[in-house]
Structure 1
Amino acid sequence: MSWAAVIAGAFVAAALWLILLVLGTGMGLSAVSPWSNSGASASTIGKGGIVWLIIIQIIASGLGGYLAGRLRTKWATIHTDEVYFRDTAHGFLAWSVGLVVTAAFLASAATSMVAAAAQQTSSISTSSGSVGAQEDNSNAYFIDTLFRSRTSSLDRPDAQLRSETNLIFATALSHGHLSDADHTYLARQVAAKTGLDEATAEQRVSEVFAEMQSAAETARKAAAHFSLWLFVSLLIGAFCASYAATIGGRERDHVQLI
């Protein structure tokens, strides 16, 4: 086993994967637009991202596997079938090590980003001293929609009510339904803050919660599809690395010294 060749191929694959990922991110950002009905759609960007992930795996894993096979030492006294197996193993190991290196780098970057975001959120929360500063931004739009009023003369919901509403919706989403007690309570709060009658307020609570469920389901499906296609792309990368290593190994053995 030529571990030097395996490690070299792994680092080349990891570096090329990151370079191509940055390139794909740049192309994706250049294709989108902050304006509606302009630029590529979210569906197009998603499909393009999946295709690009597969292309990245083919190129990066293939090159890494090829180098792992080409840079290994020559096994002159080993049977041809054993050489083929070892070349395949070299490519697969190069892909595996490269995947671990890439995952470690991405995990480190993600941890740093989360820590920075948490520190910023903590400073904002401390400076404001309000419960509303801790509100989940993903639900802020739905809470604004819930308490939207036709007139500005009515009192807007305070931070405590918004935080309580956010907690009720989060609990309901985790349970899959909004309890009757929570539904009635929210309807009364909506009626008091918007001037709507109780029946209309109850209907608004139901509609907003249904929209939140739909958004959560859409996000779940998107995450599931991405995970499945990422799994497929990784399998393709493993195959490409293993096969490319056999090509590199054969070319290594057939090299004629001049």
Structure 2
Amino acid sequence: MGKVYLVGAGPGDPDLITVKGAKIIGQSDVILYDRLVNEQLLEDYAPKQAELIYCGKRPDHHALKQEQINQLLWQYARQGKVVTRLKGGDPFIFGRGGEEALTLGKHQIPFEIVPGITSGSAAPAYAGIPLTHRQISSSVAFVSGVTRKGDTGEAYWEHLAKGAETLCIYMGVKNLPDICHYLIKYGRDATTPIAVIHYGTTQAQQTITGTLHTIATKAKHLKNPSMIIIGEVVRLREQIKWFEGLAYEASESPIAVIG
């Protein structure tokens, strides 16, 4: 019997992989990796003989269905192999790692979870936005911009409009106009600051800021992967932003910085 490791690859910057995550990649026989995993990690750490299987998922297009991924994990492990499921960010934060772990448990496959740095905290940090601040925000919520089947988007955002002071929204760019509309409808001020961070922690990072009233127009050209940060802490970006200067120095052309 082999073993499966569900490893968080971090938010994009390959240097943000954990030490344990890098070690496990280096001892793997098989690596199933996602679209948002920086492939530099495979070049730097994966053994030359390791079998690499791409499991990338884009909206409306999956290289492999989740059921196929689950099956490959336990099948390879039963062949006595060390299997790494390499996932962008953290496997247990909108990474479907919980589903994979349940499948492995059902088939009595030994496994370990290796947390990673999630884009919900890393992207705003690279954009100069603290998610909490003693005088501004004492609560933060990580939420999905896509509701579950059967849920009404309006009820979902009504609940969140009255919740945490800072919202970190994954997979929300497509629904950004509706998100802003419902948050305003159910109590958030239209002037509440918001940031959209595209490809956070990478040289391609773009940060656009605005308000709930203006951001849908200002950021309409941005696609996934993007993190949306809503709350008064976004105002601190102008004083704290640090990454853009470093990225400019490290690249031949500057990254886009708007807002």
Q: TM-score range by the shorter chain?
A: under 0.3
Q: Which has the higher strand share?
A: 2
Task: Find the structure with the greater CA-based Rg.
Answer: 1
TM-score normalized by structure 1? 0.23
Q: Which has the higher helix share?
A: 1
Higher relative contact order (CA 8 A, sep 6+): 1
TM-score normalized by structure 2? 0.22
